[in-house]
């Protein structure tokens, strides 16, 4: 049995893949790595890497395209995405292919999908395609909004715009740097806004006042061997930098255990929070699976704003595990073995279908 890890480049997330491969022998599974660009379309052979259980290391190997594929492709460049996606779609279309992961849509489309669920809708900040009209409407009703690039790989900045005392304040969100400019009138603000929107596609969503550093909860969900979603880890991100909840994880990100932090809440506030977290972690994967059939893992980015409201701010189908694993060794073991256990469950399903 072979599990193929489809990755952006060889040895990307090396620690994670290696730890999976070390445990694979106990499950009678061989683990290989390949990229969309290492496939020969004529022969359908792959020039990739195979984990040698005796050497406990990766070795170069040529092999057939694996039928079970754990998709961990994550690109930082639009050009590579455009090249890779047709190949990934072709791999998914092959009758023998079974994927462990799927590509999720942009935040605006994700909002449309998730808010169809009446239980989830109260926890979703309104996300709209940014235009002059939608931005002004949200500013009028909410006073504070975040403008983000529609596509996560965009090099464009995010912006926090808030309206106070008849003045528009615009803060550019750059890592650890937040330059601000002000516009005294709508007539001076609108040309800036229109110029920004001409540079690319953006979304606009409200942010609660005084919530540039909210309590930020990160929840990791994976399917178990029965195909049921389980929460493997739930932590509070420790970062006093403003707007850190809007940026991706880095290897330097630090956490504290949710159980350590929950004592700061009153019994009533904790009950309210638990109800919200339960709904979000239960309903989000259930709703997404109605549209995306190959999901195996999710990271949910949840914030508690200055008013105590709970919001689901972002969903990622390919969590970056390094920071989580360094935080909690016990969770690490579950995270490393989950793809192998779920792979075996997929084999069982396939065998039943063939009977």
Return the closest-CA partner of residue 177 out of 158, 198, 197: 158
Cβ(108)–Cβ(131) below 8 Å: no
Instruction: Report the percentage of the chain scoring pLDDT > 70.
Output: 97
Report CA-CA distances (Å) from 258 to 58, 213, 314, 330: 36, 17, 19, 15
pLDDT at residue 40, as a whole number = 93
In the block, tokens 């290696």 appear at: 18
Report CA-CA distances (Å) from 149 to 16, 113, 200: 29, 19, 7
pLDDT in tens, 42-53: 999 999 999 999
Indicate the class that CATH gives domain 2-99: alpha beta
Among 123-127, 163-167, 193-197, 345-349, name the one with the lowest average pLDDT. Answer: 345-349
Rg over CA atoms, the chain? 22
140/134 Cα distance (integer angstroms): 10
Return the structure tokens found at 279. 């709904």
The pLDDT of residue 347 is above 90: no
Region for residue 171 given its phi and psi (left: phi exceeds 0; alpha: psi -120 to 50; beta: otherwise):
beta
Domain-wise residue ranges, the chain = 2-99, 107-123+212-343, 128-206
Domains 2-99 and 128-206 share a fold: no
For domain 107-123+212-343, give the fold.
D-amino Acid Aminotransferase; Chain A, domain 1 (3.30.470)
Cβ(222)–Cβ(232) below 8 Å: yes
pLDDT in tens, 73-93: 987 777 788 889 899 999 999
Please name the helix (run of DSSP H) or strand (run of DSSP E) that holds residue 284, with its range, or none. Answer: helix 267-289
Question: DSSP string of 172-212?
Answer: EEBTTB--EEEESSHHHHHHHHHHHHTTS-EEEEE--TT-S
pLDDT in tens, 119-163: 999 999 999 999 999 999 999 999 999 999 988 767 789 999 999
Q: Rounded to two decimals, what is the model's pTM?
A: 0.90
48/208 Cα distance (integer angstroms): 48
158/353 Cα distance (integer angstroms): 47
Residue 322: pLDDT band (50, 70, 90) is confident
Return the closest-CA partner of residue 82 out of 127, 37, 128: 37
Question: DSSP string of 92-105?
Answer: HHSTT-EES-----
Return the closest-CA partner of residue 67 out of 87, 41, 95, 90: 95
For 31-54, give one letter per residue: b (16+ CB within 10 A) or e.
Answer: bbbbbbebbeeeeeebebbbbeee
Work out the mean pLDDT of the chain and round it to a whole number: 90
Burial of 339 (0-12, 13-18, 19+ CB in 10 A): buried
Please name the helix (run of DSSP H) or strand (run of DSSP E) that holds residue 324, with its range, or none. Answer: helix 322-327
The pLDDT of residue 352 is above 50: no
The pLDDT of residue 354 is above 70: no
Average pLDDT over residues 33-45: 94
Choices 3.30.2310, 2.60.40, 2.60.120, 2.20.140: CATH for 128-206: 2.20.140
pLDDT in tens, 223-239: 988 889 999 989 999 88
155/178 Cα distance (integer angstroms): 16
186/201 Cα distance (integer angstroms): 22
Return the closest-CA partner of residue 223 out of 335, 134, 323: 335
């Amino acid at each position: 049995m072979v599990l193929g890890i489809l990755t952006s480049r060889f040895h990307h997330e090396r620690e994670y893949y290696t730890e999976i491969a070390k445990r694979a022998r106990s499950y009678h599974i061989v683990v290989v790595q390949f990229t969309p660009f290492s496939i020969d379309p004529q022969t359908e052979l792959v020039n990739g890497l195979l984990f040698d259980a005796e050497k406990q290391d990766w070795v170069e190997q040529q092999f057939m395209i694996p039928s079970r594929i754990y998709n961990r492709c994550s690109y930082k460049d639009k050009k590579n995405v455009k090249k890779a996606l047709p190949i990934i779609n072709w791999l998914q279309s092959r009758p023998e292919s079974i994927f462990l992961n799927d590509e999720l849509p942009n935040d605006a489309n994700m909002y449309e999908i998730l808010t169809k669920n009446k239980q989830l809708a109260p926890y979703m900040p309104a996300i709209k395609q940014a235009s002059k009209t939608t931005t002004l409407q949200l500013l009028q009703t909410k006073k504070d909004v975040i403008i983000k690039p529609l596509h996560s790989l965009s090099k464009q900045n995010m912006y926090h715009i808030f309206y106070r005392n008849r003045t528009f304040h615009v803060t550019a969100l750059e890592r650890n740097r937040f330059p601000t400019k002000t516009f005294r009138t709508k007539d001076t603000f609108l040309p800036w806004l229109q110029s920004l929107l001409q540079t690319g596609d953006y979304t606009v969503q409200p942010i609660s006042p005084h919530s540039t550093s909210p309590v930020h909860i990160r929840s990791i969900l994976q399917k178990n061997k029965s195909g049921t979603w389980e929460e493997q880890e739930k932590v509070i991100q420790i970062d006093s930098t403003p707007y850190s909840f809007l940026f991706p994880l880095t290897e330097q990100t630090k956490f504290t255990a949710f159980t350590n932090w929950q004592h700061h809440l009153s019994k009533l506030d904790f009950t309210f929070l638990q109800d919200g977290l339960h709904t979000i972690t239960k309903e989000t994967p259930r709703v997404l699976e109605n549209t995306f059939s190959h999901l195996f893992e999710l990271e949910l980015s949840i914030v508690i704003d200055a008013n105590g409201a709970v919001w689901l701010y972002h969903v990622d189908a390919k969590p970056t595990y390094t920071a989580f694993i360094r935080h909690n060794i016990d969770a690490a073991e579950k995270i490393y073995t989950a793809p192998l256990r779920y792979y075996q469950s997929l084999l069982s399903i396939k065998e039943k279908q063939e009977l």
